[in-house]
Amino acid sequence: MTDLIQRFLSGDRRALARAITLVENRSSEGQGLLSAVYGRTGRAHVIGVTGPPGVGKSTMVDRLAAEYRSRDKTVAIIAVDPTSPFSGGSVLGDRIRMSGAAGDPGVFIRSLAARGHLGGLSLATEDVARVMDAFGFDVILIETVGAGQSEVEVMDIAHSTIVVAAPGLGDDIQAIKAGILEIGHVFVVNKADRDGADRTVMELEVMLDLGQRELKWRPPVLKAVARDGLGIPEAVEALERHRQYLDESGSWAALARQRAEAKIRQIVIQRLTEQVSRVSSPVWDQLVDRVVTRQRDPYAAAGEVLKLLRLNGDS
Ligand code: GDP
């Protein structure tokens, strides 16, 4: 274990891959590694890329990575696919080759699938992102492949989120559900080589103006042709401006604090839930019996359970 941490800290990519697997599987080794490297986290700019399927998110993510590389920033990519049973790097092998990032030590790609994450996909994504952050990547791009609630949850760990749309889909805007509209900091209408891009930009602008959002950061709506790399530098500029805004407004620090609090609370609740579910069944059954026969009320019974767990039973 200490050997793995040493190799990780010395920048060994194979140690990084191994560390991610351990963390993803929520093994005790993984937890130990996270604790050991936690002090090195908090530096990476975590960027979410979301939007309806087929709008060009993957293409965009690869281009964004290349643009950041041209600015001497190192980039890690997490492709979150709640519909796929396979996690790991191999699935993305073709993509790495296509993007020209193969052999570039400044780029690391990992896919995460839904299956097998006890604490949920968002928790796994968060922990993997933290490991990448500790490894020293400047930028972490998190791309969600699926649609729905998981997108919003996953994006909860990003500092900046790009919402990608495309013209010509008619109900495309509807597909960008209200929840996703609210989490976007930069909007990009991709496939601007097609008709209707300006109209989609306008529709988004109107929706953003109507929505009562935090006034200090008005999300820009940009156009891009990700396939050809057009509009990508502008998207990165917008992300850099958002990061600067977070810094200068104190939001970066506030967000860190808010998330640390939420995280501790989440872990405490998770552990308590585990403890409660471990209350031995004879005791449990007896308590249930007493409530059923009206010898106890449910509150008193719950109080007894908490006392058994040596927690404060008063509420
Ligand atoms: P995702 O499902 O959102 O990740 O979308 P993909 O990145 O897989 O792209 C879906 C399809 O759109 C692919 O065939 C891409 O080659 C294509 N595509 C991506 N960007 C553009 C673009 O700017 N213009 C056009 N016309 N097609 C694009």
Pocket of ligand 1 (CB under 6 A): 53-59, 190-191, 193-194, 225-227
Centroid of ligand 1 to alpha carbon of 54 (angstroms): 6
Q: What are phi and psi of 211, to 5 degrees?
A: -65, 140
Where does the pLDDT of residue 313 fall: very low under 50, low under 70, confident under 90, or very high at 90 and above?
Answer: low
Centroid of ligand 1 to alpha carbon of 55 (angstroms): 6
The rounded distance, in Å, linking the Cα atoms of 74 and 96 is 15
Please give the average per-residue pLDDT across 259-278, as a whole number: 86
Centroid of ligand 1 to alpha carbon of 78 (angstroms): 18
- pTM to 2 decimals? 0.86
pLDDT tens digits for 147-177? Answer: 566 666 767 789 999 999 999 755 556 656 6
Q: Which two tokens stand for residue 166?
A: 């495309």
Residue nearest to ligand 1 atom 22, measured at CA? 191
Helix (H, G, I), strand (E, B) or coil at 215: coil
* Sign of torsion over alpha carbons 236, 240, 245, 246: positive
Residue nearest to ligand 1 atom 7, measured at CA? 56
**35 and 106 Cβ atoms separated by less than 8 Å:** no
pLDDT at 92 over 90: no
pLDDT at 248 over 80: yes
Percent of the chain with pLDDT over 90: 55
The residues, ordered by sequence, that sit 6+ positions from 120 with a Cβ below 8 Å of its Cβ are 153
Determine the pLDDT at residue 155.
73
Determine the pLDDT at residue 224.
98
Determine the pLDDT at residue 310.
80
Residue nearest to ligand 1 atom 12, measured at CA? 56
Determine the pLDDT at residue 86.
61
| Probe residue for ligand 1, chosen from 164, 194, 227 as the CB with the greatest number of ligand atoms within 8 Å | 227
Q: Which numbered atom of ligand 1 lies nearest the CA of 53?
A: 2
Token pair 């643009």 in the structure block, residue: 67
* Residue bearing the bigger pLDDT, 101 or 142: 142
The packing angle between helices 13-24 and 121-135, to 10°, is 160
Centroid of ligand 1 to alpha carbon of 190 (angstroms): 8
Q: Which two tokens stand for residue 246?
A: 């977070």
Determine the pLDDT at residue 34.
93
The rounded distance, in Å, linking the Cα atoms of 192 and 166 is 7
Determine the pLDDT at residue 90.
47
Where does the pLDDT of residue 267 fall: very low under 50, low under 70, confident under 90, or very high at 90 and above?
Answer: confident
Q: Which numbered atom of ligand 1 lies nearest the CA of 192?
A: 23
Strand partners, 113: 81
Please give the average per-residue pLDDT across 37-63, as a whole number: 93
| Probe residue for ligand 1, chosen from 49, 59, 222 as the CB with the greatest number of ligand atoms within 8 Å | 59
Which whole-number Å values give the CA distances from 208 to 43, 61, 110, 211, 270, in the listed order?
Answer: 30, 23, 33, 5, 36
Where does the pLDDT of residue 215 fall: very low under 50, low under 70, confident under 90, or very high at 90 and above?
Answer: low
